Structure 1
């Protein structure tokens, strides 16, 4: 059985008259073209070209095969065009999971633009602080803040560093000043909780003797954001979004042990599904632009 690349070499030589010109058109070596012509002749048992000093000339048999070869190429081109159109026009539902704090801050304008550009895509957005198991089909795509993603078969990319550190509102800073050291933090009220993030957040407070400074607790990270915006006190928030909030001020630098990454993830079995690939690429581009702004 012949190889499709052998047939492409046959057509290129037939149309250009030489293996050198065909090699340039196909962007391969002249030796490769000659080898493919020989392989096609061996596979078909036909003598397709006369090798002349001036180049390659089709034999009568080769001439007779041209129409069939061109039909195969046309069919392959139509297949490629159809596949490309399907990929560009991919539609259907894509499930996306992320923490609520990202879902209510950075994602709405991105998903608005996705809808405008790809109206055939329907996003099902689940907001949860608990990582969903992509391997089991709990979601197609996840945006996670973590040091290293866990779960079998995950593929994706790290969009940016996303350290969690201490913030207050500008209004709070105007009234009470900005604490810049861990000693100064002890004189300010903290907003605790945060659901999934509370365990490491509480451990950080305990490690620095600040646990007794907590005056109120929320059960979600978006609650922490709301509390800080209100001027109630200080809290730990993800820098990827908090640094872009004009109403917030970062109090202290993030410590290396508190640095996580913002990850865009899917499962390996979904990475080439057109609608999932489209959303992944769109989100990656939008989040990367945001990270660089």
Structure 2
């Protein structure tokens, strides 16, 4: 005869009776009335067409059939517990991984402090990287990028502002050579530049299109090193205007240079955006980060 078993909750009651040896003891463990436990065991036996327990005055004694089913019932119990644990983990806030250039933290430290104070259960993992990480592959949840376009159309995009660049130098350089007033005034000046295989080279190309090779005194793979060279008076260089505000030693020659303007984007992977803590962070962060530019 075909079994009609389909009530998974009866497995929990079966295990309790098997382990406790009586419906009364099982009812205490389960927090269910004893008559209900006995009725569910009867229903399980009817559904499986098996006698699972021998009843006597001493309690419920498992039959051979019950002992054969017991290991499988334990597997169902373990799988149910694992399911519940995984479901719970999916509802709990997880660490938000944010990738951005290394200089990003200088601009947003106060914002993260404010957010963490209001949301102490949400943690962050900063992934400083000049390389463009692949959000769709889970390399990070959120990226802050300055870009002309977003090649991955699946990403959720929030344009923060338009990022702008200007030509900067130092007081030491100004005392020695003065500053050019426009891109038509580069003759006789020295320049430092930034080149990296993982970063579009539009800044470098803009400069090299306007000066001779011997005017480029040094090319750097690190933005911080390039800015250090500008501070020391080695040469003039292109710097993001917002970032330059955090370096009092940098002095603008002229700018912003419209041809170098790019969209400043907050990008979020769709999988990450389904998480409540990521939505909460983006809603908080995006307008406040944009506002920091309005205050500049």
Question: Normalising to structure 2: TM-score of the pair?
Answer: 0.62
Tell me how far 1:268 sits from its aligned partner.
2.5
- Report the equivalent of 2:126: 125
Query: Can you list the C-alpha shifts for 1:21-42, whole angstroms capped at 9, x where unaligned?
Result: xxxxxxxxxxxxxxxxxxxxxx
For residues 191 and 272 of structure 2, the distance between their equivalents in structure 1, rounded to whole angstroms, comes to 42
Q: Superposition pairs for residues 140-151 of structure 1, below 5 Å? A: 140-151=141-152
Partner of 2:191: 190
Q: CA deviation at 1:95?
A: 0.3
SS of alignment partner, residue 202 of structure 1 = helix
Contact 2:155 2:267 in 1 (8 A): yes
Residues 187 and 281 of structure 1: CA distance in aligned 2, closer, same or farther (over 3 Å)? farther
Residue ranges of structure 2 left out of the alignment (5+ in a row): 1-90
Q: How far is 1:194 from its partner?
A: 4.3
How far apart in 1 are the matches of 2:173 and 2:200?
23
- Go from structure 1 to structure 2 and tell me whether the alpha carbon gap of 1:101 and 1:197 turns closer, same or farther (over 3 Å shift): farther
In the alignment, structure 1 segments of 5+ residues that lack a partner are 1-88
1:231/1:280 Cα in 2 relative to 1: closer, same or farther (>3 Å)? farther
Over 3 Å counting, the alpha-carbon distance change for 1:227 and 1:283 in structure 2 is farther
Distance 1:150 1:234, change over 3 A: same
The question of whether the paired residues in 2 share the 8 Å contact of 1:100 and 1:127 is answered with: yes
Alignment-derived partner of residue 163 in structure 1: 164
1:262-277 aligned within 5 A: 262-277=264-279
Would you say 1:152 and 2:153 are equivalent positions? yes
Preserved contact between residue 169 and residue 230 of structure 1 (Cα < 8 Å): yes
What CA distance in whole angstroms lies between the structure 2 residues aligned with 1:231 and 1:119?
44
1:175 deviation in Å? Answer: 4.6
**Partners of 1:106 and 1:177 in 2: how far apart?**
30
- Contact between 1:243 and 1:249, CA under 8 Å: does it hold in 2? no
State how far apart, in whole Å, the 2-side matches of 1:234 and 1:220 are.
16
Q: Which residue of 2 aligns with 1:106?
A: 107
Quote the Cα distance in structure 1 between the aligned partners of 2:130 and 2:140: 14
Distance in 1 (alpha carbons) for counterparts of 2:252 and 2:210: 18
Structure-1 separation of matches of 2:287 and 2:92: 18
CA gap of 1:160–1:288, structure 2 versus 1, over 3 A, is same
Structure 1 residues 165 and 272 mapped into 2: Cα distance closer, same or farther (>3 Å)? same
Which residue in 2 is equivalent to 1:50? Answer: none
Q: What is the distance in 1 between the residues matched to 2:110 and 2:175?
A: 30
Closer, same or farther: CA 155–218 of 1 in aligned 2, 3 Å: same
- On the 8 A contact 2:94/2:277 being kept in 1, the answer is yes
Q: What pairs up with 1:181-260 in 2 under 5 angstroms?
A: 181-195=182-196, 196-197=198-199, 199-243=201-245, 245-260=247-262
Maintained 8 Å contact 2:101/2:130: yes
Q: Is the 8 A contact 2:100 2:128 kept in 1?
A: yes
The one of 282, 288, 291 aligned to 1:289: 291
Q: TM-score w.r.t. structure 1 length?
A: 0.62
CA contact (8 A) 1:164 1:237 kept: yes
Q: Conserved in 2, the CA contact under 8 Å of 1:194 and 1:219?
A: yes
Residue 244 of structure 1 and its aligned partner are, at CA, apart by: 5.5
Q: Which structure has the larger Rg? A: 2
SS at match of 1:263: strand
CA distance in 1, matches of 2:242, 2:265: 12
Q: How many residues get paired?
A: 205
- SS across alignment from 1:265: strand
